Chains A and B, each alone.
Chain A
Amino acid sequence: MSQVASLSAVEVAYPGRGTVLGPFDLALTEGEIVALVGPSGCGKSTALRLLAGLEQPTAGTVTRTPERGQTAVVFQAPTLMPWADARTNVALPLELAGMAKVKARDQAQEALRAVGLENAIGSKPAQLSGGMAMRVSLARALVTRPRLLLLDEPFAALDEITRRNLADDIHRLWDQTRPAVVFVTHNVEEAAYMAQRVVVMSANPGKIAGQTTIDAPLPRPPGFRTSEVFRNAAEAVSHDLAKAMGQIQ
């Protein structure tokens, strides 16, 4: 598998706050789902912005093979344009890249159908539930068929049922084009369910405190949440997190 992006010994420092991240290393191979877990302020989102090219490191190297438009980000909030309907929101990346409006909106319609929102094509964000708005955001991220998909706590504001449904939807959609995915979360179980590899980070500054590989098929088979593999993985991640937070040695 070829490498899609990597962070090599990167450090990020802000004036007045000192170093918030690093030295930090992370390599992503094609079709891999990696979860970043850690306490608040450990630099998870900063690492994500580095991978997206939205921020530059103070030291170290960021390597990204996807061209412009082949990286997509889903933020914690759906981040939709409130004045535009779902289809226009999803078509945005294509239209910004210069695609003809009609073609872009046709593809947006397809992307919305893929996330189960064919009936909400003309709805504006205020008319959608939190889960539906997040699906629109996901459709917008996937409409460009990205090689690198960055998810920054996309489930943070959703209820448990919606989170579980959306997690399975992300796996199903990932399976169609198999982009490299980085999934940032606070939730240990969510990380163990979503990813093939979970990287636990410690704070001040953000560094790798542990890694767990989960050897189970993706998308997850029914009943995976009650399986021994899942339980063991969640336990290992939980142990790394407790270490990262100084709760155990």
Chain B
Amino acid sequence: MSRTLETLAPILLVAVLLGLWETACYLTGVPAYFLPAPSAVAAAMAQDWALLLASAWKTLSTALLALAFASLIACSLALIISTNRLLEKAVQPLAVALQVTPVVAIAPQVVIWAGLAHPDRAIISLAVIVAFFPIFSGALTGLKSTDPDLERLFDLYGATPWQRLLRLRIPSATPFVLEGHKVAGGLAVIGAVVAEFVAGSGGSQGLAWRILESSNRLQTAKTFAAVIVLSLMGALLHAVLQASEQAILRRFRGR
């Protein structure tokens, strides 16, 4: 199969599905509030593009801020507990509990703690909680995944714990930390959107609010338009993080 055909295959599939969807809507006369035709969704996107972009930026900036906070907290905590096995044993179950607890379950309480007048604080906090685990887990695994022979070499040359941390453990952890950030990036967007839903007020004008608002008004084409922008934004963030990871690793390993 040629490379061009391989590249075109997913685009062709989407085009065919959209065509079928458009035709089905036209032939069945299904009401637009139930299932809008792709052309109606495109029209809604064209009409509201400025508002959608502003909302997308609001959600994205929240997710990026949460990612930065999560990175700082997770890496620092991983560094601290990697130096003490007892501390690691003590913290690990709590970290796992935090990971497996659905963010929706704790969101209403976090909204109350953050103050009903400050939904942004709650949204960022919730996104941080969701993004925390993959970075923490990656950093901790990385800090403990050093080459045993390199460890022996550092023993042989009498390295201090500080030299070992800076010159061996942190560099060894880098690929794991980058992978953790890539996963956490997508989760931070999900966390921000879920938190916006739960906060459920116009106080936060992110994409989730656009979806809620249009859905409540039965403007389904606008809902679809917001969902599509959300998906594209998530995919773009993932692609940027993946490209950054690859570029850093290429530089890190020399190829």
Q: A residues engaging B (CB < 8 A)?
A: 49, 52-54, 68-69, 71-73, 75, 77, 79, 81-85, 92-93, 96-97, 123-127
Contact = CB atoms under 8 A, between A and B. Distances in A.
Given A69-B158, A96-B158, A81 B149 contact: no
Nearest to B170: A83
A127 B255 contact: yes
Contact size range, B: 20 to 34
Given A79-B149, A83-B252, A85-B254, 12 more contacts: A52-B156, A53-B156, A71-B156, A72-B156, A81-B150, A81-B167, A92-B153, A92-B167, A93-B157, A96-B157, A96-B158, A127-B254
Secondary structure of the A side of the interface? loop
B215 interface: no
Contact of B152 (A73, A83, A96, A127): A73
A124 B159 contact: no
Contact of B171 (A54, A75, A81, A97): A81
B123 to A, nearest CB: 37
B163 interface: yes
A81 B163 CA distance: 14
Given A53-B156, A96-B157, A124-B253, A83 B163 contact: no
Contact of B153 (A53, A79, A84, A126): A79
A138 to B, nearest CB: 13
B246 interface: no
B8 to A, nearest CB: 35
B147 interface: yes
Contacts of A125: 254
A54 B156 contact: yes
Contact of B158 (A52, A68, A127): A68
Contact of B159 (A73, A75, A96, A123): A96
Contacts of A82: 252-253
A97 B156 contact: no
A123 B254 contact: yes
Contacts of B252: 82-83
A104 to B, nearest CB: 12
Contacts of A123: 254
B177 to A, nearest CB: 13
A73 B254 contact: no
User: Nearest 9 pairs between A and B by C-beta?
Assistant: A124-B254, A79-B149, A96-B157, A83-B171, A93-B157, A75-B149, A68-B158, A126-B253, A127-B254
